[in-house]
Copies of this chain bind each other. A is one copy, B any other.
Amino acid sequence: MSKKEIKKMTIAIDAMGGDYAPEEIVEGAILSLEEKDFSIILVGEEKKINSLLSKQIFDEKRISVLNATQKIEQDESPAIVVRRKKQSSINICSKLVRDKVADGMISAGPTGAVMTSAILNIGRIKGVKRPALAAFIPTVKNPILLIDIGANVDCKPIYLLQFAIMGKILYKNMLVDVQPKVGLLSIGEESTKGNHLVQESYELISKSIKDFVGNIEGHQILDGKANVIVCDGFTGNVVIKSIEGTVEMLFNQLKDTFLTNTISKMGAYLLKPSLKSLKKKFDYREYGGLQLIGIDGICIKAHGRSKSKAIKNSIRVATKVINSEMILNLKSEIKKYFKETR
């Protein structure tokens, strides 16, 4: 890719989504400018955003602001947001991607609204049955990609096969040095273990996917036997939140343990730097959010509690995925597989 083409990259950011919008979103956008070769469109309440921008020093050519006249609430149904609030920041972002004004979008707004807006406005890649939400789970070694984690709560085996295909491509585009192994989340190692969906999916995936390593049990998720782990969106959502909840609970417990007495306080003081680096290893914010995959454009759903650092990471991930030409890869792989298997 020539330097000129790279310079054209534009990312649409929903400045109104998430618990700390618009302040932390705007701050994150400015922080991200350290990395070169893209520009940003901040979508939201123009006046508020401009007032926040006016307090900062940055390359003004690289951030533009687009007004959104409607505001969405956390508890509104995704369908209502998308159909009735056409001028909300999420909808404007997804239309910017649809119209090729932006190469990708980022929103920390409600997951359902972001997904519905992106699917309806940007549309699916031809041949993709169901777009999926994919999450990178940090581990000590390579991260694990769990797909789906909530876009599709009731699935068919063919969906899970497509999640496997899409997850593999996403993984390869994010971690170019790894040839990702694919696993199927289940309750035992044998192909006959699991519910009906998983048993049928096992057969389909094992026939179609190279580097399929079979079933992965709950306690094996983080051990790296598989890089991409496929499941229905209900199980994936419960599992990823269970892992996050367990990590958070244990770190809180550690803190309490350290404050037990003077000796433990001294011990904790000595361990502080090592513990800090351990905690950072498991910080979901390092991975910039969830990727909605299977639509004809880049859409990243940042965590609702994203602060500026998480937004900056989301932008970094977006530029990486855009540069990797993942959408082109997805299109050709989906086309190839669904010529072969049907």
Interface residues of A (CB under 8 A from B): 139-140, 150, 153-154, 185-187, 194-196, 198, 217-223, 231-235, 237-250, 253-254, 257-258, 260-261, 263-264, 266-271, 273-275, 277-278, 281-282
What B residues does A253 contact at CB under 8 A? Answer: 140, 278, 281
Kindly report which residue of chain B lies nearest to residue A153, judged by CB atoms.
Answer: B195
| Residue pair B237, A218 in contact (C-beta under 8 Å) | yes
A217/B195 contact (C-beta < 8 A), A267-B270, A274-B257 known? no
| Contact residues in B for A139 (Cβ distance below 8 Å) | 249
Give the chain B neighbours of A240 by CB distance below 8 A.
218
Q: What is the total number of copies of this protein in its complex?
A: 2
- Across the interface, name the chain B residue whose C-beta is closest to A234: B195
Whether A194 touches B242, Cβ cut-off 8 Å, given contacts A235-B234, A250-B250, A257-B274, is: no
19 contacts between A and B (CB under 8 A): A195-B234, A218-B237, A218-B242, A218-B245, A238-B238, A238-B239, A239-B239, A242-B242, A242-B243, A247-B250, A257-B275, A257-B277, A258-B274, A263-B270, A266-B270, A267-B267, A267-B270, A267-B271, A267-B274
B234 touching A221, Cβ below 8 Å: no
A195: B residues at CB distance < 8 A = 153-154, 232, 234
Look across to chain B and name the residue whose beta carbon is closest to the beta carbon of A245: B219
Q: List, in ascending order, chain B residues with CB within 8 A of A220's CB.
A: 241, 245
Let me know if A222 and B194 touch, CB within 8 A.
no
> What distance in Å separates the Cβ of A119 from its nearest Cβ neighbour in chain B?
18
A interface majority secondary structure: helix
Q: Are B257 and A185 in contact (CB under 8 A)?
A: no
Q: Which B residue's beta carbon lies closest to that of A199?
A: B153
Kindly list chain B residues whose C-beta atoms are within 8 Å of the C-beta of A250: 246-247, 250, 282
With contacts A187-B238, A194-B234, A271-B271 taken as known, whether A222 is within 8 angstroms of B244 at the C-beta atoms is: no
Give the chain B neighbours of A194 by CB distance below 8 A: 153, 234
- Residues of B within 8 Å of A247, CB to CB, are 246, 250
Across the A-B interface, the 4 shortest Cβ-Cβ residue pairs: A218-B241, A267-B270, A219-B245, A267-B271
How many angstroms between the C-alpha atoms of A277 and B258 in the bound complex?
Answer: 12
Distance of A62 from chain B, by nearest CB (Å): 36
Report the separation of the CA atoms of residues A244 and B275 in the bound assembly, to the nearest whole angstrom.
Answer: 21
CB distance from A174 to the nearest CB of B (A): 22
Given A154-B195, A267-B268, A270-B263: A219 and B234 interface contact (C-beta under 8 Å): no
Q: How near does chain B come to A45, taking the closest CB pair, in angstroms?
A: 27
Q: Known: A264-B271, A264-B274, A275-B257. Contact between A219 and B235, CB under 8 A?
A: no
Inter-chain contact B263/A278, CB cutoff 8 Å: no
Residue of B with least CB distance to A155: B195
B187 near A150: Cβ-Cβ < 8 Å: yes
Closest B residue, CB atoms, query A248: B219
Q: How far is the CB of A150 from chain B (nearest CB, A)?
A: 6
